[in-house]
Structure 1
Amino acid sequence: MNIDLSPEATDYGVAALRAFASAGGDRLVEEAERDPRGRSAVMEPVLAGLGAWDLGPRTDADELEAAAALCRAAGYWAVPYPVAERLSRPADLDVDGLVVVSAHDPAAAVADLDLRFATVSLDGRRSLASARPAERPPRRTGFVTGLALDALDDDGITDVALGLVLPIWSLLGMLDRAMELTRDHVLLREQFGRPLATLQGVQFQLTDAEVERAGVEVLAKYALWSIGTGRPEAIDDALSLRLAAIEAADTVMRIAHQLHGASGFCDETTLSWLSRHSLPLRRLPLGLSATGEALACRIGRHGLTGLFGGEAESATTRETEPVAP
């Protein structure tokens, strides 16, 4: 098992980071809040230049990895556009993207976009979606709006895992940036005549946050591998990833805000924009408790399998046990 992204996918992600930076970087989300309807015109040429819509994440494992790297780069810059949702689009429907929704009050961060979306619930029920008019400004909603659904079929079970996992790669990119911003902040700011980064309490907090972020990265790679290899447990792995990612995001963002102090909640600080626009990814389609409940209902008493299952753990134990003299 090799869960690391290929060098080609990694290089593609670096190219995407540079392309988003050249297109405006942090200004992208700021300008999108001022002009929500104009964000498609800004982002489409950038994504087309990267060949984003030529990727086939459903049919090719290498292109699946490239799609994940692109989502991570988009998250790093808090790109105000449904990149992961568009990359998840089903091949058998004439739509621009796919959104995983809850059974009650379906919603997604697709307000003010002239795009056609399909939705899928965790049990595989697909629908065509129409975005309702936004009732509040994007500063308060993160571009989230309710969806009106027109039921299609029950053939979407294979869509669920991909639709859950790619948005988490975007959230992972946001956690990457939050850690980077926080490290830079504590290295520059001083207290008692020395940088905050030299204080032991700050170092402990940064370590806790980085452990959470790194754990999500490993799980995200594993869930991607699970989809790419066609594991029947791919949805279980996707829900496990989502549960861990929400918990990690809560920890990373909390510590980042604590170490930034009051400035972390001001729009002059990039962390404020990043944190605010991470909320739709953390709350939709399911929040922490609902994701945990959905995972528990799926795995029942048999638990998780694969990398973190009991069989793999026993094999690892047998390999690492010392041999008696």
Structure 2
Amino acid sequence: MNTELPQDVTDFAAVVVKRLARLGGPAAALRAETDDHVRQDARAALSELGAFDLDVRSAPVDLLAAAVLCQAAGATALPYPIVEELLAIDGARLALVNPGAPRVDHGDLPGDWVAADLDRNRYRPQPVSRPNATLGPFLAPVNLTGPNGTVPAADVDLYLVLGSWRILGAVQRCLDIATEHVQARVQFGKPLAEFQAVRFVVADAYVAVAGLHELAKYTLCRLGSITARARAADALVLRLKAADTAHQLLRTAHQLLGALGFCDESEVSVLDRHTQPLIRLPLGAEALSLRLIPSVHDGSVETLFTGPVSA
């Protein structure tokens, strides 16, 4: 089975990687924590790339382009809410929130916002001051007004899928950094990469990331050809897989880099801190798993065992 993306999407991805790299990558994201001009520069770069002209809701090729754009944004820790703006509703950025503890990444940015929970209930968020936390430095608590109406189910699914592509980019970059480190770091007279235990850990990490990448492509290409219930289940499965893979990869990267991985001089530290909102919001892995249980019972989740599963 050929899982390669179309050539025009691949070419677009190459252009995106080069343009976002010019912003400075994770180092620029680190500066953005104290300098809002960096986030303005990030938005300008996205505008130059034509990101906000993509029709992710009805044009399949544009959706593929948006996915690789989000992947590159994750790899560079782009300090801008690209998924939220790609799915803007009437000019207002869309954010998925947990009504029990509502927070919006980059919610302090000027402009209108629309919030929704996983049950599609629509809220109007009112951001308060950003606390500048270490993990998720751009997270802003919000007060919710509502619920008032709903948002389209497809928008919720797209939000989960595109966010998963951003997580994919971050873990791919962390794996590259960790691999480069063990190849260069000499311990007991030879590179760490020559120790069998290290090779096993890196091999497991590569398998996990490759699996997430294939699932991300598979899910994206199925969105327009399956039922709404199956689409929702696919989106949840992908987000759960992305969160689990991120936990594994970040743990592996920190283990291999040692204390360096917890210092902001290392890109792994910045990628980790800036990716935490994607991993944890709107719900963590355990809560996502619980939401999937009904889909397993009614057959919405496709496995080797098709059809409804008795409780």
Give me the whole-angstrom Cα distance separating, in 2, the residues matched to 1:98 and 1:309.
Answer: 35
Q: How far off is 1:300 after superposition?
A: 4.8
Partner of 1:179: 175
TM-score by length of 1: 0.88
3-state SS of 1:153 partner: coil
Give the aligned residue type for 1:28.
Answer: A
Partner of 1:207: 203
Q: How far off is 1:253 after superposition?
A: 0.7
**Which segments of 5 or more consecutive residues in structure 1 lack a partner in the other structure?**
313-325
Partner of 1:73: 72
Partner of 2:274: 277
Q: How far off is 1:69 after superposition?
A: 0.4
3-state SS of 1:310 partner: coil
Partner of 1:116: 112
Give the aligned residue type for 1:236.
Answer: A
Mapped contact 2:124–2:144 kept (Cα < 8 A): yes
Task: Report the CA distance shift for 1:3/1:88 in structure 2 as closer, same or farther (over 3 A).
Answer: farther
Partner of 1:323: none
Give me the whole-angstrom Cα distance separating, in 1, the residues matched to 2:279 and 2:233.
Answer: 18
**C-alpha root-mean-square deviation of aligned residues, in Å?**
1.9
Give the aligned residue type for 2:219.
Answer: A
What percentage of aligned pairs have identical amino acids? 36
Partner of 1:31: 31
Asked if residue 248 in structure 1 is aligned to residue 245 in structure 2, the reply is yes
1:290 aligns with one of 284, 287, 292:
287
Give me the whole-angstrom Cα distance separating, in 1, the residues matched to 2:99 and 2:132.
Answer: 25
- Range moving further from structure 2, 258-267 or 112-121: 112-121
Partner of 2:94: 98
Q: Deviations over 1:249-290 (max 9, x none)?
A: 111111111110111111111111111111111101011111
Correspondence 1:1-325 to 2 at 5 A: 4-35=4-35, 37-90=36-89, 93-95=90-92, 97-134=93-130, 136-151=131-146, 152-229=148-225, 231-232=227-228, 233-297=230-294, 299-306=295-302, 308-311=303-306
Partner of 1:318: none
Give me the whole-angstrom Cα distance separating, in 2, the residues matched to 1:8 and 1:117.
Answer: 32
Mapped contact 1:78–1:277 kept (Cα < 8 A): yes
3-state SS of 2:179 partner: helix
Give me the whole-angstrom Cα distance separating, in 1, the residues matched to 2:299 and 2:226.
Answer: 19
Q: Aligned residue pairs: how many?
A: 305
Mapped contact 2:233–2:292 kept (Cα < 8 A): yes
Give the aligned residue type for 2:63.
Answer: L
Give the aligned residue type for 1:52.
Answer: A
Give me the whole-angstrom Cα distance separating, in 1, the residues matched to 2:260 and 2:136.
Answer: 21
Give the aligned residue type for 1:284.
Answer: L
Q: How far off is 1:40 after superposition?
A: 3.3
Give me the whole-angstrom Cα distance separating, in 1, the residues matched to 2:272 and 2:125.
Answer: 27
Give me the whole-angstrom Cα distance separating, in 2, the residues matched to 1:133 and 1:70.
Answer: 29
Give me the whole-angstrom Cα distance separating, in 2, the residues matched to 1:155 and 1:111.
Answer: 19
Give me the whole-angstrom Cα distance separating, in 2, the residues matched to 1:224 and 1:45.
Answer: 27
Task: Report the CA distance shift for 1:99/1:300 in structure 2 as closer, same or farther (over 3 A).
Answer: same
Mapped contact 1:303–1:309 kept (Cα < 8 A): no
3-state SS of 1:23 partner: coil
Give the aligned residue type for 1:166.
Answer: L
Give me the whole-angstrom Cα distance separating, in 1, the residues matched to 2:111 and 2:194.
Answer: 49
